[in-house]
Amino acid sequence: MPKYMLIMRGTDESNAAMMASIDESMAATGRLIEEMMAAGVLLAAEGLDLPAQGVVVAFGGEAPVVTDGPYGETKELFGGYFMLDVASKQEAVEWAKRVPAAAGSKIEVRRVAGSDERPDDYETAGRESSGRI
């Protein structure tokens, strides 16, 4: 079965709203994780540390440039993920709809490429899964 990553993306506002009700958010997320485990689809789930604790390594000049967090002006930040082993993108989307997220948050659903795939295989795989060749 294909793997899909549900990428949690939030804004400063949605993250603040989640933190305001962190106990409720954690309990709801725990229940969802238990449901995913019972369904046999959860491979991994992790949250990330605060953006201020991170660094950015930027490539563009002769040498990479490292900048401490927070990340200057941002509209959305990657805050964590769920890795699922499901039958289809639609099934991954259905799980994503159940994630307890604050208003303003987004969840990006992306297929994880297999180790035997090359970048030029991605477009073909996408057309095959949608019935187009």
3-state SS, 94-117, equals HHHHCCCCCCCCEEEEEEECCCCC
Q: Where are the domains of the chain?
A: 3-129
Spatial CB neighbours of 22, under 8 Å, sequence gap ≥ 6: none
The predicted structure's pLDDT at residue 104:
86
**79-133 pLDDT, tens per residue?**
899 999 999 999 999 999 999 988 889 999 999 998 888 766 655 555 555 443 3
| Adjacent-strand bridge partners of 106 | 9
Whether the CB-CB separation of 89 and 109 falls below 8 Å is answered with yes
The Cα–Cα gap between 125 and 44 comes to 24
Distance of alpha carbon 27 from alpha carbon 9, whole angstroms: 19
Taking only the tens place, the pLDDT of each residue in 22-66 is 999 999 999 999 999 999 999 999 998 888 888 889 899 899 999
Fold of 3-129: Alpha-Beta Plaits (3.30.70)
Question: Residue 108 in contact with residue 7, Cβ under 8 Å?
Answer: yes
